[in-house]
């Protein structure tokens, strides 16, 4: 297990270098002049040239990338040409909001998708299976942003059960910054009223973001369970008179989870990069909203920082999924 983990961590280095080169080149080849936009419409040529020199944009591309790579090596991810703020500081501010939302969405998808998929396979071609098919088809067909608008219209505007958007009300005072996760920070501060406010604000965006992975996990779990149920050891357990509950939870569930774990790991990375519309609809201050504003102003450094951060988290999550294989399925050996 340990050699496997070491190899995977060493592979992060070429992945990070390749991703940084790819994002850097694409960002620099896009049409438009970010320096001109940052300088303003009335800037003189001298002012534009001075701003380009300040950010090193007057140098050849290889020189710019080497300077960028050296900065990455020491933790300097560059500065935003619009706000002049270090990108790494902005990521520390906006990334926890997105991570908290994605984790909440995946928890909803896992807690509903895995039991429902298992139940649909056990009761194949009966009403639980038919209902799960209908739910999964509807969940994967509805666009996230459209569902978010429907939830806002129904639960916020008509019924008034949940807030319309944001992480907290404007009048609410956030807890002291510890992790950036409001639910955790409020619990640590024992501020339970703010905790429930944050939970209410997170409910609708988390549900809107969870439907697509929920449907996929549900269908994958159903297919994996059906395959495991046809294995000889399951048929033998039934022939020996073991109860259905014992057979399902002791022999079937663990073996059927392997394929679902892969989907969970992949979807976690996809959701990190796919929160833009949901964060825009719910005015959620995460990296999706941050990257969108940077793209509209052609601010390359924040976009590159967001992409690199998502790439690293994606690789780390898939490493955790690989390690989880050995815990869920003892037949899997990582060496």
Query: Do 66 and 119 share a domain, yes or no?
Result: no
Q: What is the pLDDT of residue 32?
A: 67
Same domain, 132 and 221: yes
Indicate whether 238 and 280 sit together in one domain: yes
Indicate if 56 and 94 belong to the same structural domain. no
Residue 51 lies in a domain: yes
User: Do 52 and 148 sit in the same domain of this protein?
Assistant: no
Q: Of 73, 107, 122, which closes a domain?
A: 73
Tell me, what's the pLDDT at 187? 93
Residues 63 and 208 in one domain: no
- Classify residue 78: in a domain, yes or no: no
185 is a domain residue: yes
Q: What is the pTM of this model?
A: 0.86
Same domain, 314 and 199: yes
Q: In the Cβ-directed half-sphere of 139, how many Cα atoms lie within 13 Å?
A: 22
Please check whether residue 80 lies inside any domain of the structure. no
**What CATH number does residue 107 fall under?**
1.10.3720.10
Instruction: Examine the domain organization and report whether 128 and 259 are in the same domain.
Output: yes
Are 160 and 302 contained in the same domain? yes
Q: Do residue 120 and residue 38 come from a single domain?
A: no
Residue 171 is assigned to a structural domain of this protein: yes
Q: How much is the CA Rg of the chain, to the nearest whole Å?
A: 24
Question: In this predicted structure, what is the pLDDT of residue 326?
Answer: 65
pLDDT tens per residue, the chain (335 residues)?
A: 677 677 777 777 888 888 888 888 877 777 666 777 677 777 778 877 887 788 877 788 888 888 888 888 888 888 888 888 899 999 988 999 999 999 999 999 999 999 999 999 888 888 888 888 888 888 888 888 888 899 999 999 998 899 988 898 888 888 888 888 999 999 999 999 999 999 999 999 999 999 889 999 999 999 888 888 888 888 887 787 877 788 888 778 878 887 788 888 888 878 887 788 888 889 898 888 888 888 887 788 888 888 888 888 888 887 787 777 766 665 555 55
Contact 37, 297 (CB under 8 A): yes
Question: Could you tell me if 48 and 174 lie in one domain?
Answer: no
Residue 91 lies in a domain: yes
Q: Provide the domain count of the chain.
A: 2
334 falls within a domain = no
Question: 27 lies in which domain range?
Answer: 2-73
- On whether both 92 and 125 belong to a single domain, the answer is yes
């Amino acid at each position: 297990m340990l050699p496997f983990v070491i190899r995977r961590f060493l592979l992060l280095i070429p992945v990070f270098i390749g991703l940084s080169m790819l994002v850097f080149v694409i960002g620099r080849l896009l049409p438009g002049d970010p320096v001109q936009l940052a300088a303003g419409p009335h800037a003189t040529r001298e002012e534009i040239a001075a701003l380009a020199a300040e950010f090193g944009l007057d140098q050849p591309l290889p020189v710019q990338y080497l300077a960028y790579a050296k900065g990455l090596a020491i933790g300097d991810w560059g500065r935003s040409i619009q706000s002049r703020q270090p990108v790494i500081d902005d990521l520390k501010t906006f990334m926890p909001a997105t991570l908290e939302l994605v984790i909440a969405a995946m928890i909803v998808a896992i807690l509903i998708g895995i039991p429902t998929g298992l139940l649909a396979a056990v009761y194949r071609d009966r009403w639980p299976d038919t209902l799960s098919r209908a739910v999964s088809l509807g969940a994967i067909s509805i666009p996230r942003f459209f569902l978010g608008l429907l939830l806002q219209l129904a639960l916020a505007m008509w019924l008034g059960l949940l807030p319309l958007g944001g992480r907290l009300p404007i009048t609410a005072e956030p807890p002291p910054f510890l992790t950036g996760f409001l639910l955790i920070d409020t619990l640590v501060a024992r501020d339970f009223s703010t905790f429930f406010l944050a939970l209410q604000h997170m409910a609708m965006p988390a549900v809107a973001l969870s439907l697509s992975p929920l449907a996929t996990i549900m269908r994958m779990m159903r297919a994996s369970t059906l395959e495991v149920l046809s294995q000889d050891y399951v048929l033998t357990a039934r022939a020996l008179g073991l109860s259905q509950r014992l057979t399902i939870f002791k022999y079937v569930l663990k073996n059927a989870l392997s394929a679902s774990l892969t989907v969970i790991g992949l979807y976690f990375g996809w959701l990190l990069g796919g929160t833009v519309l949901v964060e825009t609809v719910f005015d959620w201050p995460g990296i999706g909203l941050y990257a969108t504003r940077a793209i509209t102003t052609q601010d390359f450094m924040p976009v590159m920082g967001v992409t690199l951060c998502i790439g690293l988290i994606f690789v780390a999550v898939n490493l955790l999924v690989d390690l989880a294989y050995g815990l869920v399925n003892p037949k899997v050996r990582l060496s």
